[in-house]
Amino acid sequence: MEIKVQILQSSLVIKSITQSSNSNDVEQLKIVYDDTIVQFDALVTSLLHGGEIDGGQIPPLSNREVIGLVKQLDLAHEKFQASASNLITLQQELIANNISVAEAMERLDRMGDLAANHLNKIEQMSATEMNHAHILAYSASEQAITILMITAVF
């Protein structure tokens, strides 16, 4: 029964890790997961070689069929550990990539705001220059008309 509990606890911790979006949470859950692995290995060792389970000493298993099943379970658990380890690494990478994407989006937003600000300033400067050019053109037009009239009169 204890082995089932350890496997279930490991599985629940792995599910929690895969649902986490915080790298600190993943690190804390990984510590819990590692502890479940240590406890599982201790149970298997106690079953195969004798030892302590739940505060009591037990002799090693003597039934070859049961020993074989415990060893098969241990091999299957090793495969589970490898898969879980890969899954934890992938989750950590996913979280890191999400953080990188979020930071990139923030920078992109800031650059977009900066570009919009510069475009607004350019638009204001262009409008000012256009108004100044209109005033100069109007003034030049008035001067040209004045000169033409003076020239025509004399």
Tokens, residue 60: 């090693």
Q: Which residues pair with 56 in a beta bridge?
A: 53
Strand positions, DSSP E, the chain: 51-53, 56-58
**Contact, 108 vs 37, CB < 8 A?**
no
pLDDT > 90: percent of the chain:
48
**Which pLDDT does position 90 carry in this prediction?**
92
59: helix, strand or coil: coil
Averaged pLDDT of the chain: 89
Distance CA 148, CA 12 (A): 95
- pTM assigned to the model: 0.65
pLDDT in tens, 75-99: 999 999 999 999 999 999 999 888 7
Tokens, residue 22: 């915080």
Domain ranges across the chain: 2-125
